[in-house]
Each structure stands twice: as structure tokens, then as C-alpha cells.
Structure 1
Amino acid sequence: MNPRTRRRPVLPAVRPPSFSGRLHDARTATSVGRRLGVAFAVCFVTGLISHYLQHPPDWLADDLPSRPVWGYRLTQGLHVAAGLAAIVLLLAKLWAVYPRLFVWPPVRSVRHALERLSVAVLVATAVFQLFTGLLNIVEWYPWPFSFVPVHFAVAWVVAGSVLLHIAVKAPEIKAHWGRRSAGTLELPAEDARDRRSLLLGVGAAVGAVTLTTVGQSFTPLARLDLLAPRHPGHGPQGLPVNRTAAAAGVTAAALSDWRLEVLGPRPFVLTLDQLRSLPQAGARLPIACVEGWSAQARWGGVRVRDLVERAGGQPGAGVRVTSLEVRGAYRVMEMGQEYAEDPLTLLALTLNGEVLSPDHGYPARIIAPNRPGVLQTKWVTRLEVL
């Protein structure tokens, strides 16, 4: 054959993939999406509460409420539980809509391009937020940035993206919200049955994830706590520990000559025996951590407000607390007047009637009502009246 007459191979035409599944539709996406929206709303509101309790602006620090004592335990437990449920719902939502990624042509107009860009931002930030949150509750940080400020900032992007998505899709959402789609006949019976089966399956998955993790904060379900990284009854003295004395660099040598320094108009220093000789108080309070676990315990020690008063502090004074730990973002902690004056806020020396173990902050730690666990400072060595 003459090489000049050889025909070039004909390449097949590029066609977008086709999807025959009946449930990749707006009706299914709307049904899953409204449940996902509720989960996102709970996460956003409780996340704001957690963030501002941990990092209050100056104008808010003295007005943060110390009651109810179980407040942070409830809100952070809801935050983590809703976040885990949202992972299941997000996967279901993406399954329902992913064929739209392959629409052809990919961009039909400037408006369509902006709409697709907004969806891309929503999906990317939602996936980032949920899966970094999941890694946070197991305390694994395979990234170079600080989790807390990035998680807080991206939460606002997710919230804005969700609101924008709802605004853009409002007519479609409204059309598919109820049992009948606006302007169309009732969908085939087999589609309705399949959709109910799908939604029941997604609901069962959400229920299974919730039941096997929520026991880390809701102790009546502690026996079902199979998948959560913490169990409320496991740990030294029957309480979990996130940061051990060894991890914080608190050694036996550092504790051997421990003293409590209280700074104020009338500063003083106390040994552990002198601290134990002061009037003691007890309080049954939960300790609740940002990772979602919480547990209630009986604490004993000296009221912080009594130490502030002895140091010459005036009513309304706050307190700066310094730990023996050699490093850490929460080595120095400040509490506003609501916490400092609350009679349940203790410089605790005992836990459930026993002397604190080193991992629980021996010889003294802060325990206060409605307070994140990272601010219940362990290995306290200094109190400063503000």
C-alpha cells in the first residue's frame, strides 16, 4: 500500500458519561440536602459558642456565663455529633448530584460558570471542614497550619457558601421540597419506593454513627461508645486524658519543690500543705473537651475567689493562670470575672476523693463550670489577679 494513501485512524467522538440511575435527581438531592443543612447549622452555631468560649474578645471575656454548669458539655457534644452525622449526609448528597459534574458543555454562560464555581467552593470547603474536624477529634494533625483558627475561618466560608447555594437554587428546592414536584405529575411509584429506601438507609447510617459515638459525651449511652476515640470512664482515676504530664514536659523534679504563687496587691506563696490547710470546697462538675468527650466527676480544692480575695483582688477581677508545662498554646490562660467569682470554680487538689494523678494536673488544677477542657489548666503554678 502506498504510504501516501494510508488513512489516519479516526478518533472516537468525546461524549460525556451517561447515568441511568433514577435517584441522581433534584428530588433526592433536596431531601438529603435539607437534612445536611440542619446538621451544618447545628455545627456552625455550636462551633461559634466553642470558639468564643476558648478565645473570647476582650469586650466579651468578663461576661461569658459560667452557668449552666453543663452548657459546654451539651454544645460541644452536639457539635461533634452533628459533624459526624454530616459526614454521612454529605457523602449521600454528593452521590445524588455527582452526575452534574459531567454535564456538557461544562459552562453554558457566565451565570452558569459562576454557579458552578460557587458549588465547587461549597463542596471543597465542606469536605475540608468535616474531615479536618474528624481528624481533630482523634488528635491527628497531618498539616502545617494551626487547626483552630483555620477551622473557624473556613466555617464562615462554608456558611456563606451554603446561603449562596440556597439562594441560587431556591426555585428548584421549593419545587422538590414536598411530595409532588411543582408542575409535574407524581413520580413513578418505583422511584418513590427506591427514594424512601435510600433515605431510610442514609438515616440508619446516621443513627448508627451517632449511637456508636455520642456515648463519649452522653454517658447513658456510654456502653454503645464503640467508634469514638474516647470513653468517658476510661483513663487515670476514671477520667480520660488528652495531654499527659510527660507530653507537657512536667517532670517529677519540677513537682518536687512546687509552690503556688498568687500575685496581686497582697501577693503570697503557698506550699501544697499550706494550700490543703485552707478551707476546702467540693463541686460535682463535668469536664468537657473540644474533641467531643465529656464526663462528670467530684472535685475538691480551694475556691479561686477565696485566693483572689486573700491576694487583695477587688470584686470583678479576672485571673491569669500559668501552668508548669513547658510548651503549649494554653500554657497561660485567663478567666473573666464570671468564672473567677463563681463559687464552683476551684483550684482543685482532689478528684473523686483522691489526690490528683500527675496526668490530671497534680498538685493543682483549675476546674470551672461551663468551661472548655483546654482552659481547665493543669499543673497550676501561678495565679495573677487582673
Structure 2
Amino acid sequence: MTFRMPRLPRPEVPRIRPPEFKGRLHDARTATSVGRWLGVAFAVCFVTGLVSHYLQQPPGWLADDLPARPVWGYWLTQGLHVATGLAAIVLLLVKLWAVYPRLFAWPPVTSVRHALERLSVAVLVAAAVFELLTGLLNIAEWYPWPFSFVPVHFAVAWVVTGSILLHIAVKAPEIMAHWSKRSAGALALPAEDGADRRSLLLGMGAAVGVVTLTTAGQAFPPLKALDLLAPRHPDHGPQGLPVNRTAAAAGVSAEGLGEWRLEVAGPRPYTLTLDALRAMARARARLPIACVEGWTVQADWGGVRVRDLVERAGGRPGRDAVRVTSLEVSGAYRVMEMGTEYVDDPLTLLALTLNGQPLTLDHGFPARIIAPNRPGVLQTKWVHRLEVL
């Protein structure tokens, strides 16, 4: 006789089902409406970012042709870059809210084409979030990463732009079907969603407006009274100007300037004491100092024209570039080069005064560069050497 154990019933394994999203407005019409504005914001950021990058790090063939006019050129482009970048954070969050249920669509991949499409979307989202997050932290001058911000931010900008263009190409039929209220796809959506969609878009516009109004004052003086969320206020700092890099951070001290001399290297090299420099023909210029972090301040600068110093050293204004060296101990912009357009411009000064007063140490005493249409990081402080190239 054989004894058999009774067979126990198999436990039921719960079937894993993808989450269900019953919220309204997670649809193509909403995504397209938000995507239009997000695309414009990214386009402005990309173009103005190119301007900023090539003004800071021009290739050799472009260095002598960078324009020194209009004097407010960099002020405008970098102000727009930062303002649209901050607005794009709001727009991207709304866009992701509108489309995120599709991330949980089941099955996750239906074909090779679908897999490539989802991969391209993943690259687009990751690159866009990275670009906006690192840009935001750069405005606050906080760098919690091991890489250099400028080249990586520039490289990822191309990835974002390429991903957007690829996404538009892949989704073109769906985008056109939901482009306007009268498009075929939009007409197929529930009519009652229209009011809610308008409310969502109005709320998004209001949020963008609040972010812009409370940050743009750091670059546009008429709005400075509303400058509540920006990390810089244009009127705060020594001599009424903000300072990003102090003398202490640069390793420059008043004690170390006791024997300061300006060296000018060229066919006829010479050196000048501060008193001798002050005795030269003086010039004045009212120029903005515009920082890559987005703040800008207009100021009155006084000093000696760089082209006069170059000409005295045997250089040829309008034909020779200049290399400027700072007393900074270290730093990515300790040595800076100016192309011929800047050297020849009468508004490009080796500045000695700011708003009628001698420069403070944090603003570059005893001498600094100030030039039109130039990023603030290239307005070199604590200058001790000019070299005619």
C-alpha cells in the first residue's frame, strides 16, 4: 500500500498590472500646448548659450572678429539665457506631468521602432533635466560635481537640441494632429477638458511670470525692486556692485601689492608704477558688467585706453591682440586674451576707478580690464601684465 501526501492547492500569484491613470489632461493636446512654449524656451537658451560660450572661449579663427558693439550685447543675451532657463524649469515640470503616465504604458516595448523612440525620449528627458539643474546651481555658484561646468554644460546643450529635433521628427504627425483646437486629434478629445486645459495653461503662465519677475531684476534694473528669488541683487556689494570672486578667494592681498608694477610686453616693452599709470591720458566709459550667472550692473569706469598702452609698446591697434595676466594665484580665467576688435575699441579700458572712486581690492585694485560686450569673467581683475601678441 502506497501512502501519498495530499496535494495542496497552489497559492494564487497576484497578477502585476500597470498603474492606471484616471486623471484628465494627461493627453497629447496638453503635451503639445506645453511643448510649444518649452521648445521656444530651449531654442532661446541654446542660441544665447552659443553666444556666451563663443564669447568666453572663441576658436582661433573667430577670436579677432568678435564684435565689441553693441556694448549691451552680452548683457541682453545672457539675461535672456538665464531668464528663459528659469522659465523652462516650470515648463518642463508641467510637460513631464502631462506625459508621465506614458512611461508606465504596457507592454513597455512593442517593436524595435518603439524601443528606439522610448530610448530617445529617455535621453531627451535626462539631458534636459541635467541642463536645467546644473544651470540653476551655476546661478547660485554651487558646484557639487567633479567636472568642469562650462564644457559639460555646452556639450549637453547639443545633446538636448539634437534630442528635441529628433523627438519633433518622430512625433510630427501627432504634434500636427493636436497643434490647435481645430486639429483633427484635438476635436476628438472630450470637449469638457477644454476649460481645465485653459486653467492649467493659465496657471503655468502665471508661475512662469512669477519666476521671471522675481529673478530678472538682477539683470534688468527696472525690475530690481522685485528681485526676491535671484541670488544676486544689482545694488549689493562694495562700491554698489556685486562681487563673485573676492580678493581673498583669488589669493590677492593689499600687502602683496606694495611693489606693484604694470608690465607691458611688446616690440618696445616698458613698466609703469601706479602713479605713472594715473598720470597718463585718462578716459571714461559707462559700461555694463554682465556676469555669466545672469546679473548685470551699469557703472562709470575711468582709466587708460588699452589701445594707448598697446601703441606705446609698439603694437598696432586694430591688428594686434593682447594677452592679459592677473595677480590671481590660480583660476580658469587668470590669463585672458582679447581680440583686435576689443583692443582697438576706445571704450576698452585698463580701469583704475569705479563710479569716480579708486577700485576696491575686491573689484580689482589697482587695475582691471573693462570692455564692451564682454562676459564678466573676462573683465580681468588685479592686472599686472599686458602682452602684445
TM-score by length of structure 1 reads: 0.98
Partner of 1:116: 118
Sort the Cα spacing of 1:191 and 1:365 in 2 relative to 1 into closer, same or farther, 3 A. Answer: same
Partner of 1:333: 336
Residues 88 and 202 in structure 1, CA contact (< 8 A), matched pair in contact too = yes
Partner of 1:41: 43
Partner of 2:388: 385
Matched position secondary structure for 1:300:
strand
Matches within 5 A, 1:248-267: 248-267=250-269
Letter of the 1:242 counterpart: N
Matches within 5 A, 1:302-317: 302-315=304-317, 316-317=319-320
How far 1:188 sits from its partner (Å)?
3.3
How far 1:3 sits from its partner (Å)?
7.0
Partner of 1:139: 141
- Which whole-Å CA distance do the structure 2 matches of 1:183 and 1:262 have between them? 69
How far 1:182 sits from its partner (Å)?
1.0
Q: Does 1:359 align with 2:359?
A: no
- Which whole-Å CA distance do the structure 1 matches of 2:235 and 2:5 have between them? 81
Residues 24 and 95 in structure 1, CA contact (< 8 A), matched pair in contact too = yes
- Which whole-Å CA distance do the structure 1 matches of 2:283 and 2:187 have between them? 70
Q: Does 1:72 align with 2:74?
A: yes
Aligned match of 2:160 in 158, 161, 179?
158
Percentage of matched positions with identical amino acids? 81
Partner of 2:325: 322
Sort the Cα spacing of 1:183 and 1:373 in 2 relative to 1 into closer, same or farther, 3 A. Answer: closer
**What CA RMSD, in Å, does the superposition of the two structures yield over aligned residues?**
1.1
Aligned match of 1:270 in 253, 269, 272?
272
Matches within 5 A, 1:96-245: 96-182=98-184, 185=187, 187-245=189-247
Letter of the 2:327 counterpart: L
Matches within 5 A, 1:296-307: 296-307=298-309
Matched position secondary structure for 1:384:
strand
- Which whole-Å CA distance do the structure 2 matches of 1:199 and 1:255 have between them? 58
Partner of 1:374: 377
Letter of the 2:387 counterpart: E
- Which whole-Å CA distance do the structure 1 matches of 2:177 and 2:190 have between them? 17
Residues 320 and 334 in structure 1, CA contact (< 8 A), matched pair in contact too = yes
Letter of the 1:75 counterpart: T
- Which whole-Å CA distance do the structure 1 matches of 2:308 and 2:32 have between them? 57
Residues 63 and 337 in structure 1, CA contact (< 8 A), matched pair in contact too = yes
- Which whole-Å CA distance do the structure 2 matches of 1:326 and 1:254 have between them? 12
- CA offset digits 1:43-71 (Å, max 9, x no partner): 00000000000000000000000000000
How far 1:186 sits from its partner (Å)?
5.6
- CA offset digits 1:236-294 (Å, max 9, x no partner): 00000000000000012221111100000111100101100001000000000100000
Sort the Cα spacing of 1:247 and 1:16 in 2 relative to 1 into closer, same or farther, 3 A. Answer: same
Residues 322 and 338 in structure 2, CA contact (< 8 A), matched pair in contact too = yes
How far 1:9 sits from its partner (Å)?
2.2
- Which whole-Å CA distance do the structure 1 matches of 2:196 and 2:353 have between them? 57
Residues 66 and 342 in structure 1, CA contact (< 8 A), matched pair in contact too = yes
Residues 40 and 86 in structure 1, CA contact (< 8 A), matched pair in contact too = yes
- CA offset digits 1:131-160 (Å, max 9, x no partner): 000000000000000000000000000000
Partner of 2:288: 286
TM-score by length of structure 2 reads: 0.97
Sort the Cα spacing of 1:233 and 1:183 in 2 relative to 1 into closer, same or farther, 3 A. Answer: closer
Listed as ranges, the gaps of 5+ residues in structure 1 are: none
Matched position secondary structure for 1:145:
coil
- Which whole-Å CA distance do the structure 2 matches of 1:342 and 1:3 have between them? 99
Residues 180 and 186 in structure 1, CA contact (< 8 A), matched pair in contact too = no
- Which whole-Å CA distance do the structure 2 matches of 1:217 and 1:38 have between them? 21
Sort the Cα spacing of 1:185 and 1:272 in 2 relative to 1 into closer, same or farther, 3 A. Answer: closer
- Which whole-Å CA distance do the structure 2 matches of 1:183 and 1:226 have between them? 42
Sort the Cα spacing of 1:8 and 1:107 in 2 relative to 1 into closer, same or farther, 3 A. Answer: same
Residues 264 and 270 in structure 2, CA contact (< 8 A), matched pair in contact too = yes
Letter of the 2:218 counterpart: Q
